[in-house]
Amino acid sequence: MGQKMVSKNDIVNRIRDITGSAGVLFEDGDLEPYTHDEFATDEYHVTPLAVIKPVTEREVAGIINLCSELGVPVTARGAGTGLSAGCVPCEGGIILSLEKMNKVLEIDEENLSVTVQAGVTLSQLYGAIREAGLFFPPHPGDEGAMIGGLVAANAGGARAVKYGTIKQFIRGLHVVMADGAILNLGGNIMKSSSGYHLLDLMVGSEGTLGIITQATLSLQRPPGSMETLVIPFATIDKAVEAVNVLFKAGIIPFAVEFIEHSVISCVEKLLNKSWPAKKGAASLLVILDGPGEEEVLAQAEGVAEELAACDPLEILLAEQKERQADILELRSMIYEALRPGTGELFDICIPRSRISSHIRFLRTLEDRYGISLPTYGHAGDGNIHTHSMNVTFEEGVVGDPVPGWREKHEHLRKELYADAMKRGGVISGEHGIGLVKREYLPENIGENTVAVMRAIKKALDPRGILNPGKIFS
């Protein structure tokens, strides 16, 4: 890399030639928000040389060309809501923030699609299409997240089980490549067998192969009716096993989440709202959708019938919309509630039938390491979120620091990942690899698979300027 040859001022001046002054930050105080993502601890903080906020694809291409010329690494960033340090700057590198490319460009009601710039947030997208009576099924947790980042991480969320992750909803992407070329991948078409699926290669590539500037997304009509069930069980094992029974019976819920009650009680305190189930150790949260209330209530009856053999303690239907909203808010705020004591949040994905045995293994880890591992997740698709708490955590109360947490946690993480791999899983279901998990990727997917990824990276970004060091080193 040649960046040592070029002063920060030189770079900033050259960038101003491209974007004008308005879109460049380089004072230390302004840079702080761009030094990290939402990963809980502060070990992945790097201060960028500068933050650039282009407003057009041509400006993005100009910046990439400049960085390529100067050998300066460039890290694309949306809202910074990621959890794997994927958008943390590289040493000596700049941040290319897409936040000003925030326009909803077109809603196509005929073809049920929307075209947005990369800096449009999820909540902005939901708002724009709601007015047109349209619906975007994916719902990764944070509605402040921007589309470019969601695509770059292949974000999932609770609704992925029925409708798929964000990858299934992308019809087209604009991507600026390392040589400044602007690719228009896909389009507003629903299928294609016209050459390699570069679009899918860009999804989940975490800014290492190209900068996503625009996306065309598939939409649907909103479900005519939705119902929310909360079903408590005596043990988490029973809750998780019940999910397999539903799928085997052909019931595919809109979302199906498992949550331990100790986790729920922590978020109840934060929000001052109450979870409907009082009995038992864990609940399933099941959301059903369909064209009309009658169909969905029939589905709910089907759920109750199938689960009768699984010892549910009760089956609670949230009658009013407000109650449904409370329940969803409690689920969606779990991360916030646990965050103050979270050392690391895991995101493994394993075959659904193996969730319960993995959770039993987590209990042995808790005992052996003296570290609390509150766990919940997307039971339908095998994506499990476990918090390694660096404080005590009992009955939902975040307590005192755990002495020697970091060292113990390093061993615990190794064991947790080894267990996920043994069960045929991956270390990230939806958060991405970034810096946080890259050390474990070769063991997980194989050295020869990572070698192929490296070869593609090298072919498309020979100077290594696009977010180098993320996913693999």
Residues 403-432 that bind a second copy (CB under 8 A): 424-432
Q: How far is residue 273's CA from residue 258's CA, in Å, rounded to a whole number?
A: 19
> Among 37, 57, 381, 419, which residue interacts with a second copy (rule: CB under 8 A)?
381
Closer residue to a second copy in complex, CB, 45/167:
167
Query: x/- binding map, residues 205-224, to a second copy, per CB under 8 A?
Result: x---x----------xxx-x
Closer residue to a second copy in complex, CB, 19/467:
467
Closest CA to 425 of 437, 436, 435, 434: 437
Helix (H) or strand (E) holding 62: helix 57-70
Query: x/- binding map, residues 13-52, to a second copy, per CB under 8 A?
Result: ----------------------------------------
**Would you count residue 345 as binding a second copy (CB under 8 A)?**
no
Q: What is the DSSP annotation of 426-453?
A: BSBSSS--TTTSGGGHHHHH-HHHHHHH
**Would you count residue 107 as binding a second copy (CB under 8 A)?**
no
Q: How far is residue 366's CA from residue 276's CA, in Å, rounded to a whole number?
A: 28
> Among 143, 200, 439, 443, which residue interacts with a second copy (rule: CB under 8 A)?
200
Residues 135-154 that bind a second copy (CB under 8 A): 153-154
Q: How far is the CB of 30 from a second copy (least distance, A)?
A: 30
Q: How far is the CB of 211 from a second copy (least distance, A)?
A: 14
Half-sphere exposure of 64 (CA within 13 A, CB side): 28
Q: How far is the CB of 153 from a second copy (least distance, A)?
A: 6
Q: How far is the CB of 114 from a second copy (least distance, A)?
A: 13
Residues 231-250 that bind a second copy (CB under 8 A): 244, 247-250
**Would you count residue 358 as binding a second copy (CB under 8 A)?**
no
What are the φ/ψ torsions at residue 466 (nearest 5 degrees)?
-85, 105
- Looking at 7-15, 56-64, 342-350, 359-367, which segment touches a second copy (CB under 8 A)? 342-350
Helix (H) or strand (E) holding 70: helix 57-70
Rg over alpha carbons for the chain, rounded to the nearest Å, is 23
Q: How far is residue 71's CA from residue 4's CA, in Å, rounded to a whole number?
A: 9
**Would you count residue 198 as binding a second copy (CB under 8 A)?**
yes
Size of the site for a second copy (CB under 8 A): 92
Q: How far is residue 243's CA from residue 307's CA, in Å, rounded to a whole number?
A: 9
Which tokens hold the place of 291? 């064209």
Q: How many CB atoms lie within 10 A of CB 189?
A: 12
Residues 427-456 that bind a second copy (CB under 8 A): 427-433, 437, 441, 444-446, 448-453, 455-456
Which tokens hold the place of 452? 């192929």
**Would you count residue 105 as binding a second copy (CB under 8 A)?**
no
Helix, strand, coil shares, percent, the chain, to 5? 40, 20, 40
Which stretches within 154-226 are classed as H helix?
160-163, 198-202
> Among 105, 189, 271, 325, which residue interacts with a second copy (rule: CB under 8 A)?
189
Q: How far is the CB of 270 from a second copy (least distance, A)?
A: 27
Residue type, 287: I
- Looking at 94-102, 162-170, 256-264, 384-392, which segment touches a second copy (CB under 8 A)? 162-170
